[in-house]
Chains A and B, each alone.
Chain A
């Protein structure tokens, strides 16, 4: 016997999806802040700083997000900090996102023609003036589309928080599946809700890319 109607399931999933959204927002904002710092390290003229930043990026791009979640979760408790799945997920996703975002942004800055630097130098601008007035405004424009595109990866990444017990959309799905024994329906709905969250972002990213390419 099944006491759950389709509507019940959908409602429960939508409620859980709120936490997917909140976690995504936190991971994006946290990732963007740390990522910005890393980007500046990566393009700095200090080799040591560049190395550290590069290593950080390699580390987080070269290991599974799931491992990062486990390490944060278990690592923090070793330090005597009592971590909730919630904190661990937010922290791990922040670290993960920052590595990818800084790599995207570094690429944007480096994609600008060398002539821009050279011309600015000839005009007598300092490093920071060049950054502030010439490079960053242009890089920002190039960076918008891939950044929005990466936000899709963050939303999808939050699904792994379910594995350490954070109740968001995917976890709610597994729980509902255990209660209803209707995996096809439940996971179909879960997928649909993720799609509704991610697809607009994908479309926006593509749209921005085209628009910015046309206007130069």
Chain B
């Protein structure tokens, strides 16, 4: 191959990469927390008694799961101002990600809730727990525990999806990559390195989630 790779050409732009990485991490963190929270609430509504709420959540989940993230992002960033809701790129991007993760995590958490043995709920009922106490204390923890790996994967997928935020000029990692390659014209090197950073982020996120899993659910440490 005649081409000489020039990875050193990235060095002057290290700061841009770091800034982008920080933004990606912060947005991912916010999205994970709010998205899973939204998913939990929606899953509760989906499993609850009100068929109206359940249907509204159903429509939300199907709409999000059957359209591309980039279109959702454009709709929120470019489309919503038409309704008078003006958001900065950063806000629109984070909002789109939360809404996206919320829909996927709803389905994941709902599956966990539905897998709860009926006897667990009866036992709670017989002990006199209210419906709310039963959901929070008895149903939710084992459900989350069961679907935790799937939820982790989904959070990672959403983190990787954040690369698309570069398209509305959120200054995250991919935006930094685009900026750098427009300056030094070393497109392949830049994207190669940034892809590697994303890969490390994915691996790191999985490790972190696994660690939290064991921290939050001490019964996992007990031997069978």
Contacts and interface: CB of A to CB of B under 8 A. Distances in A.
Task: Please tell me whether chains A and B touch each other in their complex, using a CB distance cut-off of 8 A.
Answer: yes
Interface of A: 58-59, 61-68, 70-71, 74-75, 78-80, 152, 155-160, 162-163, 170, 173-174, 177, 182-184, 187-188, 190-191, 194-195, 198-199, 202
Given A63-B202, A67-B195, A79-B1, A159 B160 contact: no
12 contacts: A67-B174, A70-B177, A78-B188, A156-B66, A158-B68, A163-B70, A170-B68, A177-B74, A187-B78, A188-B75, A194-B66, A195-B66
Dominant SS at the A interface?
helix
A207 B189 CA distance: 45
B74 A183 contact: yes
A74 B190 CA distance: 10
A21 to B, nearest CB: 14
B41 interface: no
A187 B66 contact: no
Contacts of A183: 74-75, 78-79, 81-82
A66 to B, nearest CB: 4
Nearest to A190: B71
A173 B164 CA distance: 16
A101 B81 CA distance: 39
A191 B78 CA distance: 13
Interface string B188-207: 10011011001100110000
Contacts of A195: 63, 66-67
B126 interface: no
Given A64-B198, A70-B191, A194-B71, A160 B164 contact: yes
B141 interface: no
B164 A74 contact: no
Closest 10 CB pairs of A and B: A183-B78, A159-B68, A64-B163, A62-B202, A198-B66, A184-B82, A74-B187, A156-B68, A184-B79, A67-B195
